[in-house]
Amino acid sequence: MRLKSSGALCGVAVLIVVALADYLYPAIPDPMPTHFNADGAVDGYSQKSWGLLLVIAAPLFVFLVFKALPLISPRGFRMDAFQTVIDILNATVTIAVAGIGAPVLLRASGKNVPLMVV
């Protein structure tokens, strides 16, 4: 049995990150902060275009890798028996990666987001 809502949840998570990046684009500086230390201080920057691409592409990449698993699994390794578990993992990891990207975008645009709490 496949969990049909997992694909929709992943799609919504990716779309939220894309919409947030589009909305915050004018407020994000170039270069944009993309890495933060344990205290939440910026310690790494990327070009704005590459930083935004990474934040948007990361959850999309995770989603697509999970969807490709049945195609790249070795012969004889049947994934049908635990497809529901794979769907749950796909949704969980994709939403987690998007959940990391959204606060990074907010912080890069100047909002005071406590990244260590997130």
- Residue 62 has a CB neighbour count (10 Å cut-off) of 22
Q: What is the DSSP string of the chain?
A: ---THHHHHHHHHHHHHHHHHHHHGGGS-SSEEEEE-TTS-EEEEE-HHHHHHHHHHHHHHHHHHHHHHHHHSPTT---GGGHHHHHHHHHHHHHHHHHHHHHHHHHHTT----TTT-
Q: What percent of the chain has pLDDT over 70?
A: 92
More confident residue, 94 or 39: 94
Contact 108, 29 (CB under 8 A): yes
Q: What is the pLDDT of residue 118?
A: 66
Q: What is the pLDDT of residues 1-12, one digit of tens each?
A: 455 688 888 989
Q: Is this prediction's pTM over 0.75?
A: yes
- Contacts of 77 by beta carbon, 8 Å cutoff, 6+ apart: none
Q: What is the pLDDT of residues 32-72, one digit of tens each?
A: 888 888 877 888 888 988 989 999 999 999 999 988 887 88
